[in-house]
Amino acid sequence: MPEVLPAAVLEVACLVKRYPTGDLALRDVNLRIGRGEVVALIGPSGAGKSTLIRCVNRLVQPTSGSVRLDGAEVTGLGSTALRRERRRMGMIFQEYALIERLTVMENALSGRLGYTGFWRSWFRRFPQADVAEAFALLDRVGLKEMANKRADALSGGQRQRVGIVRALMQRPELLLVDEPTASLDPKTSRQIMRLILELCTERGLAAIINIHDVALARQFAQRIVGLRAGAIVFDGPPDSLDAAALTAIYGDEDWSATLGQGRKATDEEEEHHSTVPDVERLAGLA
């Protein structure tokens, strides 16, 4: 065991991903995440944030490098062993990725598929303990009454809560969270981020959260990692994310509004931008 530092739940080393089109999405990424550590991954669109977390649970096959979950290598695993490792990594998606035509309860229980045989899952005969846990988690996120509603009948914020429940049903050690708030309004975004953070703390869960919203990342994460063109260009606590760092990640821009006016002002500005309908904004310009 070459590890010097103890208790790393995830270790990514020299990770490279080149797509068949020739695009180099990740070039030599090294990342170490401690148990219970919540990391926000920021960076411009196309920087490789999504590719990075998909390489961890191998929804995307990395080209080279190593991904270790709790010290165990994930990259070379065959399909059975890979499924076993995937159960330990819960994933939360941007567009919720619920199975729209199934009920909230079925979506929650789908987090247990990796632990359940085919015919049991076909006839929806999950162990009573799983059903009880699903009810408890749905209750925790305020959706107990919705258990028998179809997923497509829910609002965006409610759907993302179901997505969170599904990921937690796996009893994971690591959460991979891909743009959890990109489809949500500012208030719901904050509620969802707060919920994810609370649950991570309650359960000692580590998480990588891809996020576009720098203000949200600064507000909620303990550590921020900046990705640009497939390489890590910033890694540090939220306070050290200054204008120079943002320029290194995103390129030249006047960052004073994002950083200088403090959190409250930033939030208000966000809110204004996203909640005013386009028509009104255009009218304001005219």
Partner 1 sequence: MSANTEARTQDVVWRRRTPMGDLLAWGAWLAIVLATVLSFRQISDATIWDFVWDAPQQGADLLSRAVPPRWSYASVLWKPLWDTVNMATLGTLLAVILGIPVAVLAARNTTPSVLLVRPLALFVIVASRSINSLIWALVLVVIIGPGPLAGTLAIALRSVGFIGKLLYEAIEEIDPVQVEAVEATGATRAQVLSWGILPQVAPAIAGIGVFRWDINIREATVLGLVGAGGIGLQLEGSVATLAWPQVSVILLLILATVVVSEWVSARVRKAIT
Binding region for partner 1 (CB under 8 A)? 57, 59, 83-87, 89-91, 93, 95, 97-102, 110-115, 118, 121-122, 163, 166, 170, 176
Q: Rounded to an integer, what distance in angstroms lies between the CA atom of residue 281 and that of residue 286?
A: 9
Kindly report the number of other CB atoms within 10 A of residue 56's CB atom: 26
CB of 94 to partner 1, least distance (A): 8
CB of 86 to partner 1, least distance (A): 4
CB of 80 to partner 1, least distance (A): 9
Please report which helix (H) or strand (E) contains residue 244, including its range. Answer: helix 243-250
Minimum CB distance to partner 1 smaller for 113 or for 243: 113
CB of 111 to partner 1, least distance (A): 6
Which ranges in 68-155 belong to alpha helices (H)? 79-86, 104-109, 118-122, 128-140
Minimum CB distance to partner 1 smaller for 96 or for 250: 96
CB of 122 to partner 1, least distance (A): 6
Q: Which pair of tokens denotes residue 63?
A: 């080209």
Please report which helix (H) or strand (E) contains residue 95, including its range. Answer: none
Minimum CB distance to partner 1 smaller for 150 or for 223: 150
Minimum CB distance to partner 1 smaller for 133 or for 270: 133
Minimum CB distance to partner 1 smaller for 51 or for 170: 170
Minimum CB distance to partner 1 smaller for 120 or for 140: 120
Q: How far is CA 286 from CA 277, 278, 279, 282, in A?
A: 15, 13, 11, 6
What one-letter code names the amino acid at 116? T
Going by their DSSP bridges, the two strands 231-236 and 64-69 should be labelled as unpaired
- Beta carbons within 8 Å of 213's beta carbon, 6+ residues apart: 181, 189, 270
CB of 192 to partner 1, least distance (A): 17
Residue entry with tokens 């949500």? 184
